[in-house]
Amino acid sequence: MTRLFEILFPRYIWRIKTTEKKIYLTFDDGPIPEVTEWVLEQLALFNSKGTFFCVGENIIKHSEIFIKILNDGHLVANHTQNHLKGWKTENDLYLNNFNLCEKSIESIKKEKSNLFRPPYGQLKRKQADEILRTHKILMWSVLTKDYDGTFNEVQCLENAIKKTRNGSIVLFHDSLKAQKNLRYVLPKYLEHFSKKGYKFEIIEL
């Protein structure tokens, strides 16, 4: 399926091309105190790094956790200010929301991000055209479905492990909605691939 998306949407990044045993974990929708701090603890246990696509309003509300993400050596990136659906939002409003998130990041990090992921994976062509002027649009090759209430924890883990390859971009959510599955899956996923010699790194493009 990822190959099909790469053909249909070649301007977006769906995976990192590498023959090395590297996996790129990404976490959407935080920072959220009850979840993000736990994620950081799990990553530290396995000496692993991740890329956090943060919602601007959560950055402002939970700035101390956002700072901890940075201090722990992880990467932060833009996920809009208010988690908007691109297909249902006027272009000007969406792009303004994108810029607001960038300002929220810059107010603490003191530099802009260069990666963007659209909430729900939804983005109109004109929205993408404008964002691509300054940012790379990062999607995913492994959707864990940690947010999906019809997926139990075991299914979620099996799905994530089965679809992971060298260079996979794996999508988790550090959100309240996803935390039940996330708390089961993430440590087991980290342990499984660490034992196989994989490294978990930030996305540097």
Residue 199: Cβ within 10 Å count: 15
**pLDDT above 90 as % of the chain:** 93
- Which domains occur in the chain, in start order? 2-200 (3.20.20.370)
Q: What rounded mean pLDDT belongs to the chain?
A: 96
5 three-state secondary structure: helix
pLDDT of res. 5: 74
CA distances (Å), origin 169, targets 18, 27, 64, 95: 12, 10, 26, 25
Q: Which of 160, 171, 154 is nearest to 193 (CA)?
A: 160
Query: Tens digits of per-residue pLDDT, 102-147?
Result: 999 999 999 989 999 999 999 999 999 999 999 999 999 999 999 9
pLDDT of res. 6: 76
Q: Is the pLDDT at 1 greater than 70, yes or no?
A: no
| Phi, then psi, of 30 in degrees rounded to 5 | -80, -165
Q: What is the mean pLDDT of residues 93-105?
A: 99
Confidence label for 2 from pLDDT (cuts 50, 70 and 90): low
Give CA–CA dist 186/156, Å, rounded: 10
Among 4-18, 45-59, 62-76, 187-201, the least confident range: 4-18
Query: Tens digits of per-residue pLDDT, 22-56?
Result: 999 999 999 999 999 999 999 999 999 999 999 99
Higher per-residue confidence, 5 vs 59: 59
